[in-house]
Structure 1
Amino acid sequence: MADVEDMWRPVAGEAVGWLAEMDPEHCYSGFEPPGRPDSVWLLHAMYVWRDGLVTTTHDDVYRSVRAAGLAGADGTEAEVGELLEDAVVTGSRLGRSGHPGTGWRRLRWSELAAGFGGPVVPDGEYPGHRCLRQAHPTGSWSAAVEPPAEGCLDREGWRRLTGVLARHSPDGPDTRCLAYYCPLVTADWDRETVYAGRVGDAADLYDHPAMTSCPSNLWAADRSWVVYCDWDLWGTKVVGPRALIEDLLADPELEALRLPWTV
């Protein structure tokens, strides 16, 4: 069986030029396409421990571990060397994420927002750290919550998305598409990193051995749909035909919503 590096081959960075023209201010974190003909945001999954929320935060845990002279190993910012004294460990991961395992359940953004009586995403905002503020007023989430990851759709959501994309592509799973990884993912600031392959193989891009994230952009060669993952956001934008967007909104495994101010 071919591995992901055989299925996805490098192509010239100029292939991403059309997206760069639409979003010249992307700041090296992915290109946001305009939401036409239609668009939707897929909210990155979060999870809650089966026994419910606790008042102890991820930051509390980090500082207790640090005070005890132990190394952080929870996959959050605690692993990323020494923090500034006044920095806050939020609990949010950067890059790939997925279901934490036994004892955890999916916590929908809409469920949490309803509990606090606030919006899922405030008017004028993108899906990110300004959302659901009542659940992390200090910046750090309850230690009983695995909050949404930044910059990358969760593993289960990515696989679900690529399956829906294949159904709405002109040649089904054989449809040629391209994947772009921004410099904040690749650490290569001298060239654009683009791969070409089949949408039927796009699920495997999630575990590309040279990357720590899903692609920053994925698009069909005929440009009928585009996926956008900004390295700083908790949501992934999909742009394409209305039928595709409606299917994503109706998918029971995804949490999707339209944000009209992002079109």
Structure 2
Amino acid sequence: MDIEDAWARVPGEAARWLHDLDPDHCYSGFEPPRRPDSVWLLHAMYAWEEGLVTTTHDDVHQSVAAAGLTDTAAALADPAGELPGDVGDLLEGAIVTGTDLGRSGHPGTGWRRLRWKELARGFGEPVVPEGELPGNRCLRQGHPAGSWSAAIQPPAEGCLDRESWYRLIGVLLRHSPSGSGTRCLAYYCPLITADWEDETVFAGRLGDAAALYDHPAMSSCPSDLWAEDRSWVVYCDWDLWGTKVVGPAALVEAVLADPDLEAVRLPWTR
């Protein structure tokens, strides 16, 4: 399937109703209020199966830099050489946290899924502190100085992980009356598109939504995905480690009950 054929660009006005609901978050995604229920999906993290280490992602980065291999590392990360020339200056002295921005997925052999609940229980802290959203204020004992253990791949920021996205689409298919034929719209915020003039919105079918994860023009899943009848909305803020699902109670309960998803209710969110 050609993603660009399945998902056609439509006028940005299609996202106006979300802008009206949340006018202050247009650059990072629109957060819809509970309509009538909501749940937060926690982006997946992974742990090295042989155990944790005290060495952090920043320690590894500093070792690479000290060995004079930073140019090689940068070339591997960006073989096309398309990174802006001032990125190195901006990052100089910054802590390498280990957190990815955008798409992520299971790292492969040797890694296991590490649930937020498991890590929080080990630290004796809540999964998400009261009053907070899923993000870098969570699980602070896991990254006390900003950088995670090199034996942990922390949750990605700004985008649901690949496996959870596929699983979520499956849940939505079962809870949408028209199933795979459900008409949907997908909005990508300017922090993803770099288009600050026009809203980027695509229209397609729910049956083709799994493929949106790898839209060739984007580095992330949609900031907002919703059914044309607005019965449910999926919201993924570019600055968070969690994705909000808003819709009927039955849909929310199905997300909470799915064994392959990690989801929590955050009653203090709107």
Spell out, residue by residue over 1:152-210, the C-alpha distance to the aligned partner (whole angstroms, 9 max, x if none).
00000000001111111120110000000000000111100000000111000000000
Give the aligned partner of residue 124 of structure 1: 131
Quickly say closer, same or farther: Cα 1:12–1:27, change in 2 above 3 A. closer
Secondary structure of 2:209's counterpart equals helix
What aligned pairs does 1:75-94 form with structure 2 within 5 A after superposition? Answer: 81-94=88-101
**Would you say the 8 A contact 1:180–1:218 is kept in 2?**
yes
| Aligned residue type for 2:133 | Y
**Would you say the 8 A contact 1:216–1:229 is kept in 2?**
yes
Post-superposition offset of 1:67 = 1.0
Residues in 2 aligned to 1:75 and 1:148: alpha-carbon distance in whole angstroms: 19
Quickly say closer, same or farther: Cα 1:197–1:61, change in 2 above 3 A. same
Q: Percent identity?
A: 76
Find 1:107's aligned residue among 98, 114, 123: 114
| Aligned residue type for 2:34 | G
Give the aligned partner of residue 254 of structure 1: 261
What aligned pairs does 1:178-257 form with structure 2 within 5 A after superposition? Answer: 178-257=185-264
Secondary structure of 2:109's counterpart equals coil
Unaligned runs of 5+ in 1: none
| Aligned residue type for 1:157 | S
Residues in 2 aligned to 1:14 and 1:190: alpha-carbon distance in whole angstroms: 12
**Would you say the 8 A contact 1:178–1:221 is kept in 2?**
yes
Post-superposition offset of 1:52 = 1.2
**Would you say the 8 A contact 2:19–2:26 is kept in 1?**
no
| Aligned residue type for 2:28 | S
**Would you say the 8 A contact 1:163–1:200 is kept in 2?**
no
Post-superposition offset of 1:84 = 4.1
What aligned pairs does 1:15-30 form with structure 2 within 5 A after superposition? Answer: 15-30=14-29
Post-superposition offset of 1:53 = 0.8
Residues in 2 aligned to 1:251 and 1:8: alpha-carbon distance in whole angstroms: 28
**Would you say the 8 A contact 1:75–1:93 is kept in 2?**
no
Structure 1 residue runs of 4 or more that deviate by more than 2 Å after TM superposition: 71-76, 79-86
Find 2:160's aligned residue among 150, 153, 159: 153
Residues in 1 aligned to 2:49 and 2:255: alpha-carbon distance in whole angstroms: 28
Give the aligned partner of residue 13 of structure 1: 12
**Would you say the 8 A contact 2:182–2:207 is kept in 1?**
yes
Equivalences, count:
260
Unaligned runs of 5+ in 2: none
Find 1:141's aligned residue among 119, 138, 148: 148
Residues in 1 aligned to 2:229 and 2:115: alpha-carbon distance in whole angstroms: 34
Post-superposition offset of 1:249 = 0.0
Post-superposition offset of 1:27 = 4.4
Spell out, residue by residue over 1:4-29, the C-alpha distance to the aligned partner (whole angstroms, 9 max, x if none).
11110000000000000000000400
**Would you say the 8 A contact 1:19–1:33 is kept in 2?**
yes
Residues in 1 aligned to 2:18 and 2:91: alpha-carbon distance in whole angstroms: 36
Spell out, residue by residue over 1:212-248, the C-alpha distance to the aligned partner (whole angstroms, 9 max, x if none).
0000000000000000000000000000000000000
Q: Please say if 1:172 is aligned against 2:179.
A: yes
Secondary structure of 1:247's counterpart equals helix
Normalised by the length of structure 2, the TM-score is 0.93
Give the aligned partner of residue 66 of structure 1: 65
Give the aligned partner of residue 33 of structure 1: 32
Residues in 1 aligned to 2:90 and 2:169: alpha-carbon distance in whole angstroms: 37
Residues in 2 aligned to 1:126 and 1:75: alpha-carbon distance in whole angstroms: 30
